[in-house]
Amino acid sequence: MALQPAVADALSRFTVAIPSWGFSPMGTRFGTFLTGDEAKDVYGRIDCAAQVQAFTGITPGLALHFPWDRTDDLRALGRYIRDRGMHAEAVNPNTFQDAVYRLGSVAHPDPAVRRQALEHLLWCVEAQKALDAPYLSLWFADGTNYPGQGDFRRRHAALVETLQPVHAALAPGHTMLVEYKPFEPAFYHTDIADWGTALLICQQLGDQAKVIVDLGHHFQGQNVEYTVALLQHAGRLGGFHLNNRKYADDDLMTGSIDPYGLFLIMRELVKGERLFGRRLETVSYCLDQSANVEEKIPAMILSVVNTQEAFAKALLIDERDLEEAGRNGDVIGAQEILRDAFLTDVRPLLAEFRRSRGVPENPMAHYRAQTGRKAAGA
């Protein structure tokens, strides 16, 4: 299969950001298992991300998490990132670990706690400006565990009121990403439980607020690609946290459990650009996975490769034929069109694309060759 100019153009504009926290020691509440390639500080995490970029060629963006990645000199941190051929893409505030946030942060019933959360968020906006990171990515653990623990309406009003000055402080061209999650760590209700609530909040805040979709933050069986299509159509799709799930928010490697679901999501993005002019690069694509037993760098590489393959397959769908099949009620024909694209082996096409950009044709094989790690069974 030859690499067509239109496909090459779309592939060249599709990039995936790397999360700094993905290179930290990971674990579950039962234990943390070290694999030997964890980074000790933010500079080590940047170095790890730069390695992933060297092997894949499509991960120049870095997502940072504060205070985990906080330093005394943000501008020096920015220079360190740029010196390694990368750029800061997203700033992620942490308002869920301090003891004061036990009952919430931006929706906490105590105004003093909300002010503390607001101060951190505003500091992160300034960090975003110093690092020239276009996205402020917000996820809140706020919620309740029992009925009667909090008033839904007052909590929602407090959340929006707290976020209004944060939205107002954004630099021109920067975007606030509002994330949702149906449960965990709160189990009765969360204050931003679904994409509709996140969209409502964005509409209340203003034009620079958009929704970010975490692929693990849905109930079982939810049609995520439908959610993506509607948010894209409304002009409020801001980004993705890419991972995979089997049961809940598992944060497994992207494409490891449901590659067809990932392909269908990518199809909606490609269709949105072709039909409605929703540019692919106006959305942030960021990995968000927890490598509990696997090595960090190869886990990131494999997720990037899986994501790029799903995207490439989506580019091969004949949307005209698919549209015609839909108009004619040809259910089987529509399935065949999608199935043919999904089952296409795009690895030779991507090898050609990578070769044209001076990066390894097979990122994982090159990683193994460079590090001396053998593939399983070798």
Q: How confident is the model at residue 352 (pLDDT cuts 50, 70, 90)?
A: very high
Is the distance from CB of 242 to CB of 250 less than 8 angstroms? Answer: no
Q: Which helix (H) or strand (E) holds 213?
A: strand 209-214
How large is the average pLDDT for residues 280-287?
Answer: 95
What is 5-371's CATH number? 3.20.20.150
Is the distance from CB of 42 to CB of 76 less than 8 angstroms? Answer: no
Percent of the residues in the chain that have a pLDDT greater than 70, as a whole number: 98
pLDDT at 376 over 60: no
Residue 316, class by beta-carbon neighbours within 10 Å (0-12 exposed, 13-18 middle, 19+ buried)? middle
Give the residue among 216, 193, 269 at the shortest CA–CA distance from 238.
Answer: 269
**Phi, psi at residue 346, to the nearest 5°?**
-90, 5
**3-state DSSP of 86-113:** CEEEEEEECCCCCHHHCCCCCCCCCHHH
Q: How confident is the model at residue 27 (pLDDT cuts 50, 70, 90)?
A: confident
pLDDT at 139 over 60: yes
Is the distance from CB of 91 to CB of 66 less than 8 angstroms? Answer: yes
Give the residues across from 241 on adjacent strands: 214, 286
Is the distance from CB of 94 to CB of 68 less than 8 angstroms? Answer: yes
Give the residue among 295, 306, 307 at the shortest CA–CA distance from 372.
Answer: 295
Handedness of CA 163, 165, 169, 174 (dihedral sign): positive
Encode pLDDT of 318-332 as tens digits.
Answer: 999 999 999 999 999
Give the residue among 269, 277, 365 at the shortest CA–CA distance from 311.
Answer: 269
Encode pLDDT of 292-344 as tens digits.
Answer: 889 999 999 999 999 999 999 999 999 999 999 999 999 999 999 999 999 99
pLDDT of residue 377: 43
**Residue located via tokens 């301090």:** 98
Whether a cis peptide bond, with omega within 30° of 0, leads into 67 is yes
pLDDT of residue 32: 79
pTM here? 0.95
**Phi, psi at residue 156, to the nearest 5°?**
-65, -45
- Write the DSSP symbol of residue 138: E
Residue 212, class by beta-carbon neighbours within 10 Å (0-12 exposed, 13-18 middle, 19+ buried)? buried
Whole-number Cα distances in Å, 231 to 13, 142, 249:
21, 23, 21
The Cα 133–Cα 138 span in angstroms is 14
Encode pLDDT of 82-92 as tens digits.
Answer: 999 999 999 99
The Cα 181–Cα 190 span in angstroms is 7
pLDDT at 378 over 50: no
The Cα 75–Cα 49 span in angstroms is 19
| Crossing angle between the packed helical segments 363-371 and 296-315, to the nearest 10 degrees | 160
Give the residue among 111, 115, 181 at the shortest CA–CA distance from 143.
Answer: 181
Is the distance from CB of 24 to CB of 35 less than 8 angstroms? Answer: no
Is the distance from CB of 74 to CB of 25 less than 8 angstroms? Answer: no
